[in-house]
């Protein structure tokens, strides 16, 4: 331990300086030549106040680095509107926006797509799936917990209609007369591209092929000729009957395709 030199002060006792100013100085002993020197408080604190050289505000440090996990201690982390709140750095050192609140008061995930801030969102790959209220009957909307995939080649689709996974790895509109549609993996399109998400199982609003425009609650549903959904079983030679699920409202079904079909 270094031997401290005696310092004579003017006064009977030292008083607490309080919050040091940036122009204040601190006495230290230089161990290399055993002399007393001073250091500007601003050099210790980085220009900010606070005792012991610590920061009283995170803003005092322009490039803070965590030495461990950040624990909020029961408080909130708040993001300013229309400013990127969280960023990520790729392996090629490219900085990407991960999370922000945009000027429309939406939580924006990534650099281009936004979803509203209500819960129940499913995020798949680069796309953001909105589990909206299926009771609106808007084709392609679906309930929370639906089984959705982006697998396969990107294919143009019509939301709320039935498609089957074809031999080239894409999606083809299903019809009751197509044998491949009865033997293959089926899905309901949730958007105009298969990469938006193809629903494999779950509650979903569909494009209805009934002449009345409505399904009968509780009845099994089938493919119609235009890849829509109907509760009228297909008839006629060359057609197939394959139950797709059951109607739970005039335009919503529980989609759970049977693995069996009947050739007429």
Q: Say yes or no: 150 and 180 in one domain.
A: yes
Q: What percent of the chain has pLDDT over 70?
A: 78
| Structural domain boundaries enclosing 113 | 78-117
36 in the same domain as 160: no
Task: Give me the pLDDT at residue 12, please.
Answer: 60
Q: Which of 8-22, 24-38, 246-260 has the lowest mean pLDDT?
A: 8-22
Q: Find the angle CA(250)-CA(254)-CA(259) to the nearest 5 degrees.
A: 130
pTM of this structure: 0.58
Determine the Cα–Cα distance for residues 211 and 225; give it in Å rounded to an integer: 12
Q: Which residues contact 96 (CB under 8 A, 6 or more apart)?
A: 87, 88, 89, 90, 110, 111
Check pLDDT > 80 for residue 225: yes
- Where does the pLDDT of residue 118 fall: very low under 50, low under 70, confident under 90, or very high at 90 and above? very low
In a domain? residue 9: no
Q: What is the mean pLDDT of residues 152-157?
A: 93
Residues 163 and 111 both lie in one domain: no
Furthest CA-CA distance within the chain? 112
149 in the same domain as 29: no
Residues 242-262: tens digit of each pLDDT: 899 999 999 999 999 988 777
- Residue 45's H or E segment, with its range, is helix 41-45
| Statement to judge: residues 259 and 153 lie in one domain | yes
Phi, psi of 43 (to 5 degrees): -70, -30
Dihedrals phi, psi of 263, to nearest 5 degrees: -90, 130
- What per-residue confidence (pLDDT) applies to 248? 95
Q: Specify the number of domains making up the chain.
A: 3
Give the model's pLDDT for residue 251: 94
pLDDT at 50: 44
pLDDT band at 51 (very low <50, low <70, confident <90, very high): very low
Q: What is the pLDDT of residue 117?
A: 40
- 204, 163 in Cβ contact below 8 A? no
Q: Among 68-72, 129-133, 143-147, which is the least confidently predicted range?
A: 129-133
Whether residue 170 sits in one domain with residue 263: yes
């Amino acid at each position: 331990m270094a031997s401290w030199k005696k310092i004579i002060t003017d006064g009977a006792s030292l008083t607490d300086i309080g919050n040091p100013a940036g122009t204040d100085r601190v006495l230290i002993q230089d161990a290399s030549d055993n002399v007393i020197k001073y250091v500007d408080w601003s050099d210790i604190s980085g220009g900010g106040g606070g005792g012991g050289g610590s920061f009283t505000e995170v803003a005092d440090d322009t490039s803070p680095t965590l030495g461990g996990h950040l624990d909020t201690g029961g408080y909130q982390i708040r993001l300013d509107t229309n400013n990127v709140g969280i960023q990520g750095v790729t392996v090629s050192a490219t900085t990407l926006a991960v999370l922000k609140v945009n000027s429309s008061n939406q939580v924006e995930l990534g650099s281009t797509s936004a979803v509203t801030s209500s819960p129940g969102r499913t995020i798949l790959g680069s796309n953001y799936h909105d589990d909206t209220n299926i009771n609106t009957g808007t084709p392609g909307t679906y309930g929370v917990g639906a089984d959705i995939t982006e697998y396969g080649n990107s294919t143009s689709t019509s939301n709320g209609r039935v498609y089957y996974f074809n031999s080239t790895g894409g999606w083809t509109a299903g019809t009751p007369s197509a044998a491949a549609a009865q033997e293959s993996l089926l899905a309901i399109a949730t958007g105009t591209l298969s990469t938006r998400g193809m629903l494999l199982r779950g509650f979903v609003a569909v494009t209805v092929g009934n002449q009345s425009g409505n399904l009968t609650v509780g009845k099994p549903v089938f493919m119609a000729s235009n890849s829509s959904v109907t509760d009228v079983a297909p008839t006629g030679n060359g057609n197939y009957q394959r139950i797709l699920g059951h109607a739970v409202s005039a335009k919503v079904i529980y989609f759970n395709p049977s693995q069996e079909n009947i050739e007429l």
